Amino acid sequence: MGEKMHLLALLLFALGPVTSVPVLPPLQRSMTGLKEYDIKNAEEPQGILSRIIKVNKEKKLALLQGDILIKPGRSAVKCNGSCFWPKSADGMVLLPYSFGSKYNNQENNLFKTSMDEYEALTCVRLVPRTTEKDYLNIVSSKGCVAYVGRLGEGQMLGVDSNGCMYRGIIQHEINHALGFYHEHMRSDRDDYVTIRYQYISAADRGNFNKADSNNLGLEYDYGSVMHYDKYEFTNTTGQPTIMPKPNPNVPIGQRVGISPLDVAKINRLYQCDVCATLLNEKSGILKSANYPSAYPHNANCVWLIRTPSNQVSLNFIAFDVQSSPNCTSDYIRIYDGPTKNYQMLLDRTCGTGLIPPIIASTNQLLVEFSSDSKDAGLGFRALYGSVKCGGTFYASRATFTSPGYPNAYGPNLNCVYEIKAPAEKKITMTFSDFSTEDAPSCSYDYVKILDGSTTIGQFCGESKIADITSTTNNVKLTFVSDELFEKKGFKASYTFHN
């Protein structure tokens, strides 16, 4: 086994076999600092609506279909134009909100990224309430619930800290507030799914009633964030209550987040004038309109890439955008998050040179494209996918961390963070926190830093790393961990300078 012996720590499922594990010799690695690695990523499992219903069963509320609040004296399945949120003079639909409960920083960040997707893809803007009379009162004590459409004044929207904190659940309840029912309630649902009432108890069958719905001329969406799960309310283990047709194997009930058709329905209902595309598969293609023919004049479009997990990677394989001084005419920009308010990974870029690979810090990345009324290029084509960690930085300053920081960073990582400054600039990097497993020659977990092609050093343990100033315009940081003994990792920042 060489000089390094590893403890193979096996976490066993219930009913699994008991497996013996070798004991490390005394001089081998200490068990001190061993932490369970459990980072929740953006991908939520199938059947998460069951989580909503499980949480809501403990709350004594009058609910329709598991999470729709019913206002006394009002139809639970009708909502005319007065139930929609009004449009402002600039074409935006404002949903003021206020937190009626206290959420922690992690939960607040989840609310932000969930709400920001509406800003990127629609004309809906969720904004903190100031003096507005009608608003969403978001509370944690009432389960995962919402009214359908606008009621007026401070209408409750429930997102319980214990069980509802997923992006898909937050967006599910917001979509109710915008005026949308569950997808399986559509008036034409029988053309797309079979409701198997023989596996639904009499008391639960009302949850499968159809609504006199406005389907907006758009197709049925099996992948909607508003769709029931296949086994919802089943009274017989293994027997679905909803069967897609003609293909019964079509997945339904995802809660990763709003789907492309969810976006289309919001934009059509509220007559949003936006050019926005959601790319939500594990991998795929992003390309400009008409590619490989010339793109349209006077375009202003965005593509939001949201992979189910990990960090978005984007690789351009063709790029031809009209060149102009400082790219003032046609250009792309890339943002490290779901809206233009996030840090820019790539500022105005044009011309014909290929763009280096881009890695976002999360599973969301926004590409913006703008063209003027003059000459046009052939546009661009890129492939997107995901990686577990790493990043590419073009902004003049940024802060980045190891995966999961300040929690344990996880096993078997090989993360590359590359900082690219303009040709005439240098880079100063500062570590404000650093903690990895210690070992002779830093042979287990470590950070290796290169200035151009020159190695600055390899660091591990509780090192105090002095500020680093590059001699080139390119710094690469590689972070490696093996299969055991994770600590909290690092937090670093950099700036460009002359």
Catalytic residues: 173
Please provide the distance, in angstroms rounded to a whole number, between the alpha carbons at the two ends of the chain: 50
Contacts of the segment 48-51: beta carbons below 8 A, 24+ positions apart: 48/166, 48/168, 48/169, 48/229, 48/253, 48/255, 49/172, 49/228, 49/229, 49/232, 49/253, 49/255, 50/229, 50/231, 50/232, 51/144, 51/163, 51/164, 51/166, 51/169
CA pair distance 174, 167, nearest whole angstrom = 11
Q: What DSSP designation does 134 have?
A: S
3-state secondary structure of 257: coil
Query: What is the residue type of 222?
Result: Y
CA pair distance 269, 84, nearest whole angstrom = 9
**Cis amide prior to 292 (ω within 30 degrees):** yes
Q: Which two tokens stand for residue 184?
A: 């399986």
Distances (CA, A) of 337 to 285, 306, 434: 18, 9, 25
Q: Which two tokens stand for residue 365?
A: 């990345």
With CA atoms as reference, report the closest residue to 196 among 232, 145, 240, 244. 240
With CA atoms as reference, report the closest residue to 289 among 383, 384, 377, 385. 377
With CA atoms as reference, report the closest residue to 137 among 160, 117, 153. 153
Place of tokens 């919802």: 232
Cβ–Cβ contacts within 10 Å for residue 382, how many? Answer: 22
With CA atoms as reference, report the closest residue to 192 among 227, 148, 231. 227
